[in-house]
Structures are given as structure tokens and as C-alpha cells.
Structure 1
Amino acid sequence: MKHLIRLVLLLTGLSLAISCTRESDGPSDGIDRSANLKSLGSSAEDLLSDVKFTSLNIEMVYVEGSKPTNEAISKFQTFLEQRVYKPDGINISLRSVASSGKAPFSIEEIVEIEKQERTAYNAGDEIAVWIYFADGSNEKDENDKFVLGSAFRNTSMVIYQGTIQTFASRPRSPSRATIEAATLNHELGHLFGLVDLGTAPVSDHQDPENQGHCRIDGCLMKASIEFGTGVFDVLEGSGIPQLDQACIDDLQSIGGK
């Protein structure tokens, strides 16, 4: 039975087409960053298959006090192993950085933080993903709608730990680890190009009212937004939603499991 978490939050993938040819896109240190500065979903096949890249390096960066739980990281790795072909392994590293002091964040400010803090880029047959756990919220949050995380560019995402920690502390809310893992898996789905953000759907399952999301009830990629209540509604235990078959078919069509 599928588990469904209805979040009074907006899980969204933001596509930023950012040129990699300008000097301002990174320091002049000889590292080629161009392959990691592309549009959202454009590296879906590279992330999923072993045709070009046989290993995956995930760099998790957090501000002190915003470190993800070990349980969430473990569930995230399990989700990766279920969906990607990387015979030479999946490595997840974790390190802390100083606060930028810019919360609440615009996505442009997150991009600037990535320029300063990211160290892992594609190299040889290894593809790299950068995940930033921010010590605050998104600047577009409203009283009844919040952003948990955003996927941007082809190998980058941000998780708004300030928002997650606030809601996890409320009575009858899912655990912090469950919210973190659900958000990580959802945003990874956007890096995989779901739904129709770089990976063409095999069947018609896009949500016409929420771009980049699935309309099938219970799917991890469904955008469940409710206005006015301001709480989480956990329908079945503490389980994390799974991808429905339509989304799995999309991933398998470009080399995923």
C-alpha cells in the first residue's frame, strides 16, 4: 500500500538556465564547472544511467544547526539505489559551512552560495550533485503556503531546513527525518526530469495545475497543497510517498531502474 503525506507546503523544482561562460559564475581556479551549470532536468539520463557516468558523488552542505538526520540520509541513499545505475558506487559526503546570514532566501541568493561553497563537480566518469541545507526559509513563503525545497540547475538543490524544523516540531506532524527524506526524494525526482522537466512522459500523468508534478494520488511527485490549515496531514503512519508506475516508466525510458 502506498503511503501518502499531504504537506501544506509547496515542493517545487525551479529551473534556472544560467550561462556558464561568464566570469561571475565561479572562481578562476581551473575547474570546469560548465557541465554542472545547465538547466533543470538536462542531466537526467546522466544521473540515472551508467552510459556516461558510472559513479555518483553527492556533496551535502549544511549550516550549523541545519544538519540533516542520519535517518533521512539513509532513506535518500536507498531511494537512489532503487532508481539509478551506478556500478562504481554512490558516495554521499557531508560537511558544515558558515551561515550566509541572508535568510529568508531568494533562489538567486542560493545560486550565489553555491558559487562560494560547492566543491564537487563532474570529473571523468563521476557525476556530482550539490545539496544545500539552508538555515532559513524561502522568501516567497506565505502564511498558508511554504517551500520545503527547490531543485535548480541540472545537479543542484536546496532544502529549507528552517521551514522543515518548524513544521516537524508541531503536534501530530511527521518526524523531521520523514519530512527531510520526502523532500530530498521529491527534489531528486525533479533533477531526474520528472514530470516533463527534461524527461518526456511515457504516459499522460502531468498535473495541469502544478507544472512539473504528477497528478496521480499517492505519488512522490504529486504537489499536495492545502490552504488555510497550516499543518501536515499524515494519512498513513510515517511512510514516505513512493513514485507511481507512470513516473517509474518515465525514468526507465531514459536508462533508470
Structure 2
Amino acid sequence: MFFRAILLLLILFCSNCENQKGESSPLIQGFLALDYLILTDPDRSSVYFSSVRSASVEIAYENGAEPFTGNFATAPTTSIWSVTESNLVNAFADRGYTVDVNVPQDLSSMEEFPDQGRSTWSINQLLALASKYKEQSSNFQSTKFQVVFVKGSLAENSGVIAVTVSGAFGIGAPVVFVFKEIINHFQDSISPDHVKKAEQMTVTHELGHALGLVNAGIPLSSDHQDTAHGSHCSNTTCGMYWALGDDRVNSFSPGTNPLIFGSECIADIRNYTP
């Protein structure tokens, strides 16, 4: 099979990143995106934004690394996972056809797997785990993303918040791995919903990479790629910006506006007609 392997981003940032709370200790943060594009595979941007008519997210979690579910305390009528759902719905909007989006909202709709007893993970170990718990595969009409929550950290860099691996040698749909212990660093915030918002912003950011942002399958419609940080947006208020600082999380109000992608990234998506 002919394929082209593209390393989108090795390490976006991994150290000396302040939580931006003054006296608090540094919060090590990071995102990682690896994209292996297999041209005959349905899991790629040109398929997502042409023939796909349904998109769903499978969520699995290690015992002890459960994602947050329920509603936000500061927005009691807003489901936590409606943030991910709303951003996917918006990504597929205004294309002249409807894409049905399905995102689980509670733990009963997600799959729990046993404690893996690991403090660190290699990419190969993560991929092996994902394939073990993958339930459905994508086709050219229906896309199946996968989000997996694990304990521990990435062996290559312990400060990475999440890693997205796309279409790696036939593994199927893009897989987002979220390192729950890194997310939990946000619990020191004064906002009770802070860590929940950080988790949803992380998941949505990584699914943005899976879709093809920024300039990683979806071409740029304006000059807004932060090339110094790989496939990220130079707009500091965009959800595809490279840093997930305390101020950005605090300013996010999911009950008022759950959308995190900036106007530049949305314009890229709207103008993309493969």
C-alpha cells in the first residue's frame, strides 16, 4: 500500500509553561499530533468534508482515568460533552448537506477498561491499547473518531496533555489519547469547573487536529498558521492555539458559547471543498 508519512508535530511544548496564576508552580503542558496519511483510507480530511454524512466519537477510559461527565456547575443546563459535540456540529455545518454527529454524554455510553499499571506510555503501546478497545471502523460515509483516557504520561515527554494519531498504518480513524493526570493539574484553579473546561478544550483541540487543522489536511484560507509550533493557529483566542493556559480556560464559558475554534480556522473549514 502506498502511503505518505507526515510528522505533523513532535513536541508542541513540554516545559516551563506557567499556569498563569502568579505564585503557582509551573504547569507542564503539551499536545502531540502524529499524522500518517494513507491515501486509500477513508480517515482523511478530503473524505470528512465530501462524502461523510455521519460522525461519531467512541470514548474509552482506563479505570481511575474517567472523563468528566454530567453538567457544568456554573452552567447547570449544559452537558460537559456537549462542548465536543457542538464543535463537531459546527465544523460540519454550512456545507449544503447534513452530517449527523453523535458524542456520548455519560459514562454508561463509554467503555471502561482495567487499570493498565503503567506510569508511562510509548506511542506503540497506546496504539495497541486503542486497537484492543476499538468498536467500529470508518467508511466513506461514516467517520468514527476514538478518544481514550489513560493514567500516566507519554514516555517521550511527560508534560504532553494529549496526543492524536491519525490513520497510522491501518489503525482506522484518528485516535485521541488524553493523559488524565496532566489534565488534573488544572484542579488547583479557583474555578470549580476549570478542570472540566480544560478537559473539553483539550479533546476538542485534538479532534481539530484529527479533522485536519491547522494546515494538516485542510488548506489555509488565510495566513494564520503558527509554524513555530507546527499545526497550530496564531490566534491566541482560538482553540487551536498551541498553549492551554489558565487564563484561556477561565475565560471559556461553555454555557454561553461552547465553540472554541477561531474565525480563521472556521474559515479554513468552510472554504475547503475537496
Asked if TM exceeds 0.5, the reply is: yes
Q: Flag the 1:57–1:176 CA change in 2: closer, same or farther, 3 A.
A: same
Root-mean-square deviation (CA, aligned residues, Å) is 2.9
Q: How does 1:92-111 map to 2 (within 5 A)?
A: 92-93=103-104, 94-111=110-127
Displacement of 1:214: 1.0
Pick one of 88, 96, 100 that aligns with 1:80: 88
Aligned to 2:207: 188
Displacement of 1:115: 1.9
Displacement of 1:250: 0.9
Displacement of 1:181: 0.6
Displacement of 1:187: 0.4
What residue identity is the alignment partner of 2:161? L
User: Deviation string for 1:43-73 (max 9, x for gaps)?
Assistant: 12333x3x32211121111112222122431
TM-score by length of 2: 0.71
CA distance in 1, matches of 2:211, 2:147: 15
CA distance in 2, matches of 1:46, 1:160: 29
Aligned to 2:164: 151
How many residue pairs were aligned? 222
Pick one of 13, 17, 41 that aligns with 1:35: 41
Unpaired runs of 5+ residues, structure 2, are 1-18, 21-26, 70-78, 105-109, 168-173
What residue identity is the alignment partner of 2:52? F
Pick one of 187, 205, 217 that aligns with 1:198: 217
Pick one of 228, 236, 246 that aligns with 2:264: 246
Is this contact kept in 2: 1:56–1:91, CA < 8 A?
yes
Pick one of 221, 225, 242 that aligns with 2:240: 221
Displacement of 1:177: 1.1
Please tell me whether residue 14 in structure 1 is matched to residue 34 in structure 2. Answer: yes
Aligned to 1:26: none
What residue identity is the alignment partner of 2:103? I
Aligned to 1:133, the other structure's residue is in SS state strand
What residue identity is the alignment partner of 1:59? E
Aligned to 1:56: 55
TM-score by length of 1: 0.75
Is this contact kept in 1: 2:55–2:101, CA < 8 A?
yes
Displacement of 1:123: 4.4
Is this contact kept in 2: 1:175–1:238, CA < 8 A?
no
Tell me the percent identity: 19
Please tell me whether residue 177 in structure 1 is matched to residue 188 in structure 2. Answer: no
Q: Flag the 1:234–1:109 CA change in 2: closer, same or farther, 3 A.
A: same
User: Deviation string for 1:78-137 (max 9, x for gaps)?
Assistant: 111111157362223411112332331122211111121111102473211111111222
Which structure has more RCO (C-alpha within 8 Å, separation ≥ 6)? 1
What residue identity is the alignment partner of 2:64? G
Unpaired runs of 5+ residues, structure 1, are 21-33, 37-41, 226-230
What residue identity is the alignment partner of 1:35? D
Displacement of 1:253: 1.9
CA distance in 1, matches of 2:80, 2:126: 22
User: Deviation string for 1:13-56 (max 9, x for gaps)?
Assistant: 22246x89xxxxxxxxxxxxx836xxxxx612333x3x322111
Aligned to 1:52, the other structure's residue is in SS state coil
